[in-house]
């Protein structure tokens, strides 16, 4: 028995940081598996490279900080970041895109701020945006869907990911959002340009896009499972998706030839992934339910605005980073009401009915 004073509680809940991270990884697994299935070996190589690089940079950063690396590497946060970075990359991107992305995410996005829990911006989104601006060609070269065993083989794929082989024209094309943007710029209207778009296939994931973003269905399933597990709360995903749904519905009703409908918006790009796995990042989102609703709505608004009127076809990365920057402000102003007090902190009036 110890004789030093100990403070309660003398019992604790069983879920630890590493367990939370593994639950997140489990929830992402179906969407990742789908991405690997659709885009084949190059996607697998890229994913492995990115995750390995993320863990390596994590260990390196901790070593430079003079901290024992192992207990922190084991918490799983670097693996989650690595997976998220990979999921947002074009599946046939060269290996160094993954390595640079992991470096930006882990070193610049996380450890420069002081490590786990200290960063202002979501590391994965920071990496994605930095890569998109720095390497626009590599980041917008999309592979066609070529399910495992029908695309390039194990060895040929090595050449695509690690050999710097330019993708053959036959396997590239634009994403739906990118295609629409280009069509608009050439003066063509929507109904004609979306003839071959199948909303249902897109929902399943059967479309060009980033490695782990295409299957809205599987991401949605993973996200709902995470909410049921109590790992994330509903406030951010619901407010984010609802905002995009309402805005896109409104404009689509006003002018269907210029504005994509809600189904396309919710199914395309990184919206689902962002709603459930990026915007809900504990560190970079507000603390209170009310703050989280404001944050989610803000993300949704910015995503829609950037996609519709901005220069890029996809706006999730920018939207998330902008709202991350606002998070401390939201946390400062949106606080829970304290028991027995008004919102402004004054004690309640005495009322004896």
Partner 1 sequence: MFALFENPRLRGGIHAEEHKTETSALPIATDFPLPKKLYIPVQQHVGKPAEPLVMVGEKVLKGQLLAYSQGTISAPVHAPTSGTIVDVKDFPAPHPSALPIRTVVLESDGLEQWAELNVADDPFQLDPEEICLRVGAAGVVGLGGAVFPSAVKLNLGRKNKIHTLLINAGECEPYLTCDDRLMQERAAEIVAGIRLMLRGMDAPKALVGIEDNKPEAFAAMREASRAFSNIVVSQVPTRYPMGWDRQMLRYLTGQEIPADGRATDIGVVVHNVATAYAVYNAVCLGQPLISRVVTVSGAALAKPQNVEVPIGTLMSEVLVYCGLDKAKLARLVMGGPMMGDALPIAEVPVVKACNGILALSHADIEEPEVQPCIRCSSCVTACPVGLLPLEMASRIKVNQLDAAVDLGLKDCISCGSCSYVCPSNIPLVHYFKFASGELVKRQQAEHKAEQTKRLIEDRNNRMERMRLEAEAEAQRAAEARAARLAAQQQAKADGTDKTTQSVAAEETA
Least gap, CB of 334 to partner 1 (angstroms): 10
- Shorter beta-carbon distance to partner 1: residue 170 or 346: 346
Query: From CA 37, how far away is CA 249, in angstroms rounded?
Result: 33
Which residues, in sequence order, are CB contacts of 23 under 8 Å at separation 6+? Answer: 226, 229, 231
User: Cβ(160)–Cβ(167) under 8 Å?
Assistant: yes
- Shorter beta-carbon distance to partner 1: residue 196 or 349: 349
- Shorter beta-carbon distance to partner 1: residue 66 or 353: 353
Least gap, CB of 252 to partner 1 (angstroms): 27
CB atoms within 10 A of CB 55: 19
User: Cβ(289)–Cβ(239) under 8 Å?
Assistant: no
Residue 333, CA distances (Å) to 149, 279, 287, 327, 336 in order: 54, 19, 11, 10, 10
- Shorter beta-carbon distance to partner 1: residue 165 or 233: 233
Query: From CA 83, how far away is CA 28, in angstroms rounded?
Result: 9
User: Cβ(284)–Cβ(116) under 8 Å?
Assistant: no
- Shorter beta-carbon distance to partner 1: residue 10 or 187: 10
Least gap, CB of 3 to partner 1 (angstroms): 5
Which residues, in sequence order, are CB contacts of 310 under 8 Å at separation 6+? Answer: 318
Binding stretches for partner 1 (CB under 8 A): 1-3, 5-13, 15-17, 19-20, 71, 75, 77, 115-118, 227-228, 233-234, 282-283, 287-289, 331, 335-341, 345, 347-353
- Shorter beta-carbon distance to partner 1: residue 18 or 156: 18
Please identify which residue in the block is written with the tokens 């404001």: 294
Least gap, CB of 128 to partner 1 (angstroms): 21
Least gap, CB of 338 to partner 1 (angstroms): 5
Least gap, CB of 30 to partner 1 (angstroms): 20
Residue 233, CA distances (Å) to 209, 219, 288 in order: 27, 15, 11
């Amino acid at each position: 028995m110890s004789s030093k004073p100990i403070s309660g509680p003398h019992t604790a809940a069983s879920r630890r940081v590493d367990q939370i991270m593994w639950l997140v990884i489990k929830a992402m697994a179906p969407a990742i598996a789908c991405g690997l299935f659709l885009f084949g070996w190059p996607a697998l190589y890229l994913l492995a490279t990115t995750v390995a690089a993320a863990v390596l940079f994590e260990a390196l950063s901790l070593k430079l900080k003079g901290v024992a690396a192992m207990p922190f590497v084991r918490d799983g946060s670097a693996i989650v970041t690595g997976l998220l970075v990979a999921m947002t990359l074009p599946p046939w991107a060269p290996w160094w895109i993954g390595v640079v992305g992991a470096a930006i995410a882990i070193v610049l996005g996380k450890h420069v701020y002081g490590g786990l829990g200290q960063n202002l911006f979501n590391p994965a989104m920071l990496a994605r945006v930095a890569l998109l601006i720095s390497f626009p060609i590599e980041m917008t070269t999309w592979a066609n869907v070529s399910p495992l065993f029908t695309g390039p083989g194990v060895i040929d794929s090595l050449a695509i990911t690690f050999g710097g082989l330019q993708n053959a024209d036959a396997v590239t094309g634009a994403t739906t959002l990118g295609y629409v943007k280009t069509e608009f710029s050439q003066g063509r209207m929507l109904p004609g340009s979306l003839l071959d778009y199948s909303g249902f296939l897109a929902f399943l994931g059967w479309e060009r896009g980033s490695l782990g973003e295409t299957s809205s269905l599987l991401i949605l399933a993973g996200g709902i499972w995470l909410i049921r597990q109590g790992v994330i709360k509903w406030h951010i995903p619901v407010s984010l998706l609802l905002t995009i749904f309402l805005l896109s519905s409104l404009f689509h009703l006003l002018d269907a030839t210029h504005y994509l409908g809600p189904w396309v918006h919710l199914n395309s790009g990184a919206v689902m992934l962002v709603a459930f796995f990026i915007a809900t990042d504990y560190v970079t989102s507000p603390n209170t339910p009310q703050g989280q609703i404001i944050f989610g709505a803000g993300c949704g608004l910015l995503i829609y605005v950037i996609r519709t009127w901005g220069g890029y076809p996809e706006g999730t990365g920018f939207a998330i980073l902008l709202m991350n920057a606002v998070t401390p402000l939201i946390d400062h102003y949106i606080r829970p009401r304290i028991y027995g007090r008004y919102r402004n902190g004054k004690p309640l009036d005495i009322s004896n009915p």
